[in-house]
């Protein structure tokens, strides 16, 4: 596996691959890998000739009081893990190269970033869209793979690619979970043992929502009441939001008639976790 740290060298590597007719697949990440990241890389390995994993803890997607400084980082461990699943290039640029002092251009995707996490993280998706656009420009992938774990991020990137007529295929893959259902996340490492236990209620509440939907419940308020009840029964869980939204527009729905995403965010101590469940309307 080749480690590339400069934008220039990455562009040259990708231009060469394109010149040779190779399919380039990009998996953008912020590192501290777990099975969720590895599942995206393994799929990328199958799809592409050149598999590029980017590792960049992007400062602009963190709010002023968020965990940018403390975000877990372990380059050696990540390099080994990426190499073990067959990554060709680990692209790890420096923040000063991605954002030189004169940087002043940002990408803002409008409607889909206003609900859900956009409420409590008003600048987050602008940071995400900007860095992903940069990565697409530098790596020139044919395919880019993201996780459904960050569902709003996936919808935002799809919207950006459509709106800006970009030539990259965006792929979303299912959330990888721990044995007890907790969605894998680099931030799970922050959890104290008691918080880790209480965090199971996030997935439990989503499972309950799924059961109700499968029984035919269509009133969002009924489902949300039950989910809130489950979350409130854990004193260590502080809810940020629980919402049921149209799976494509991310606008909140009162009645469930089409495909929806049930999404939540909650604090356990200082750690903010998100999770979701996509419910596709059964074909009749």
The catalytic residue positions are 37
Question: Tokens in use for 208?
Answer: 């309950």
Question: 208 and 201 in contact (C-beta within 8 Å)?
Answer: no
The values of phi and psi at residue 174, to 5°, are: -60, 155
- As measured in angstroms, the least distance from the Cβ of 29 to ligand AMP is 4
Q: Which is closer to ligand AMP, CB of 66 or CB of 226?
A: 66
For ligand AMP, the binding residue among 17, 109, 183, 250 (CB under 6 A) is 183
Is residue 130 near ligand AMP by the rule CB under 6 A? no
For ligand AMP, the binding residue among 130, 186, 188, 243 (CB under 6 A) is 186
Is residue 141 near ligand AMP by the rule CB under 6 A? no
Q: Which is closer to ligand AMP, CB of 223 or CB of 276?
A: 276
Q: Which is closer to ligand AMP, CB of 40 or CB of 85?
A: 40
Say what angle helices 151-163 and 124-139 make with each other, to 10 degrees: 60
Question: Tokens in use for 232?
Answer: 């409130």
Distances in Å between the alpha carbon of 103 and those of 60, 98, 100, 136, 245? 12, 9, 6, 17, 35
- As measured in angstroms, the least distance from the Cβ of 162 to ligand AMP is 18
DSSP one-letter string for 72-127: ---HHHHHHHHHHTT-SEEE---HHHHS-TT--------GGGTSTHHHH-TTHHHH
The values of phi and psi at residue 2, to 5°, are: -95, 135
- As measured in angstroms, the least distance from the Cβ of 213 to ligand AMP is 22
Among positions 3-42, residues that touch ligand AMP (CB under 6 A) are: 29-30, 36-37, 39-40
Three-class SS state of 220: helix
Rounded Cα distance between 256 and 245, Å, is 9
Q: Which is closer to ligand AMP, CB of 150 or CB of 234?
A: 150
- As measured in angstroms, the least distance from the Cβ of 221 to ligand AMP is 29
- As measured in angstroms, the least distance from the Cβ of 91 to ligand AMP is 13
Dihedral of alpha carbons 114, 120, 125, 127, sign = positive
For ligand AMP, the binding residue among 56, 125, 146, 203 (CB under 6 A) is 146
Among positions 149-178, residues that touch ligand AMP (CB under 6 A) are: 149-150, 173, 175-176
| Pairing state between β 169-173 and 143-147 | parallel
Q: Which is closer to ligand AMP, CB of 29 or CB of 60?
A: 29
Q: Which is closer to ligand AMP, CB of 223 or CB of 277?
A: 277
- As measured in angstroms, the least distance from the Cβ of 19 to ligand AMP is 28
Interacting residues with ligand AMP (CB under 6 A)? 29-30, 36-37, 39-40, 146-147, 149-150, 173, 175-176, 183-186
């Amino acid at each position: 596996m080749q480690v590339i740290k400069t934008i220039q060298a990455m562009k040259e590597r990708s231009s060469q691959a394109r010149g040779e007719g190779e399919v380039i697949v990009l998996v953008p990440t912020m590192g501290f890998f777990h099975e969720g990241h590895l599942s995206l890389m393994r799929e990328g390995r199958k799809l592409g000739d050149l598999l590029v994993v980017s590792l960049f803890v992007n400062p602009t997607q963190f709010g002023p009081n968020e965990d940018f400084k403390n975000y877990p980082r372990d380059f050696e461990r990540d390099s080994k893990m990426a190499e073990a699943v067959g990554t060709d290039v680990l692209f790890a640029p420096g923040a000063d190269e991605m954002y030189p002092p004169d940087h002043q251009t940002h990408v803002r995707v409008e409607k889909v970033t206003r609900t859900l996490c956009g409420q409590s993280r008003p600048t987050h998706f602008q940071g995400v869209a900007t860095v992903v656009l940069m990565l697409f420009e530098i790596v020139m992938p044919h395919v880019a793979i993201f996780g459904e774990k960050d569902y709003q991020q996936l919808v935002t990137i799809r919207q950006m690619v459509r709106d800006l007529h970009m030539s990259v295929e965006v792929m979303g893959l299912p959330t990888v979970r721990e044995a007890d259902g907790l969605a894998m996340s680099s931030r799970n490492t922050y959890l104290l043992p008691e918080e880790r236990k209480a965090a199971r209620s996030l997935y439990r509440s989503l499972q309950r929502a799924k059961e109700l939907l499968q029984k035919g419940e269509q009133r969002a308020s009924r489902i949300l009441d039950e989910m809130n009840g489950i979350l409130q029964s854990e004193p260590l869980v502080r809810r940020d939001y629980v919402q049921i939204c149209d799976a494509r527009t991310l606008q909140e729905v009162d009645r469930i008639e089409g495909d929806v995403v049930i999404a939540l965010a909650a604090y356990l101590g200082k750690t903010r976790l998100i999770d979701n469940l996509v419910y596709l309307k059964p074909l009749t």
